[in-house]
Amino acid sequence: DAGVIQSPRHEVTEMGQEVTLRCKPISGHNSLFWYRQTMMRGLELLIYFNNNVPIDDSGMPEDRFSAKMPNASFSTLKIQPSEPRDSAVYFCASSFDRENSPLHFGNGTRLTVT
Amino acid sequence: AQSVTQLDSQVPVFEEAPVELRCNYSSSVSVYLFWYVQYPNQGLQLLLKYLSGSTLVKGINGFEAEFNKSQTSFHLRKPSVHISDTAEYFCVSALYNFNKFYFGSGTKLNVKP
């Protein structure tokens, strides 16, 4: 089990640029979550998918943020255009929506927007 | 509605001392409870989980937690901490269908030599 894989590990970009974060969930998991972590606001749920369908995107900050899950093994979180206040660590997590299946987190992508 | 409250944002403790990190949950339905640990510059790792059965749950690294339904608590304990336990700890609850997870605000454990 390779765990949840996120890429890139670090991303530094200039304000106004497009940023795409990638996530490969654990094989067999059918729920996928994107979280953002900052010192000021802690851990925030941005969006979650179940069976590749977005179920709750109420945490997405604004229209600059979008997320897709084209298949069960891949998801992206895109920020366009990026702003300095988007600087944070973005985590992807996956689970199986049955009992005995907690969240499994990736190692995160540390995004810095200058 | 569900919510999770971690009563202490920071807990300083000396090495080899016991520690308790407090967590209270609120829910009108049965919940499942977890503790996660986040070491500096890393993702969150599952420490232990309570799904049903025995109310005393043992996890990795010598940690344990006790589910107390009457007090709606799920406190995390370790009898003797190490420097390597310095991390942030999150208490999490989940609904029965595991499609919604509720995070506490985290407790930073700082173990001093």
Between the alpha carbon of residue A73 and those of residues A2, A18, A29, A69, A79, the distances in Å are 13, 23, 9, 8, 21
Q: How many helices (H) and strands (E) does chain A have?
A: 0, 11
What's the average model confidence in pLDDT over B3-19? 95
Q: Which member of B43, B97, B99 has the closest CB to residue A105? A: B43
Q: Determine the Cα–Cα distance for residues A16 and A21; give it in Å rounded to an integer.
A: 16
pLDDT-above-90 percentage for chain B:
71
Q: Chain B contact for A41, CB < 8 A?
A: no
Q: Determine the Cα–Cα distance for residues A100 and B13; give it in Å rounded to an integer.
A: 33
In the predicted model, what is the mean pLDDT of chain A? 93
Q: How many helices (H) and strands (E) does chain B have?
A: 0, 12
Render pLDDT for A4-37 as a digit per residue (tens, 0 to 9).
Answer: 999 999 999 999 999 999 999 999 999 999 999 9
Statement: residue B96 has pLDDT above 90: no
Whether omega before A8 lies within 30 degrees of 0, making that bond cis, reads: yes
Which residues of B fall below an 8 Å CB-CB distance to A? 32, 34, 36, 42-46, 49, 51, 90, 92, 94, 96-99, 101, 103, 105-106
CB-based contact B99 A97, cutoff 8 Å: yes
* Higher-scoring residue by pLDDT: B94, B35: B35
Statement: residue A64 has pLDDT above 80: yes
Q: Determine the Cα–Cα distance for residues B112 and B109; give it in Å rounded to an integer.
A: 10
What's the average model confidence in pLDDT over A60-80? 95
Please count the residue pairs, one from chain A and one from chain B, whose beta carbons lie less than 8 angstroms apart: 52
Of B45, B44, B32, B34, the C-alpha closest to B94 is: B32
In this structure, chain A runs to a length of 114
Q: How far is B105 from chain A (nearest CA, A)?
A: 7
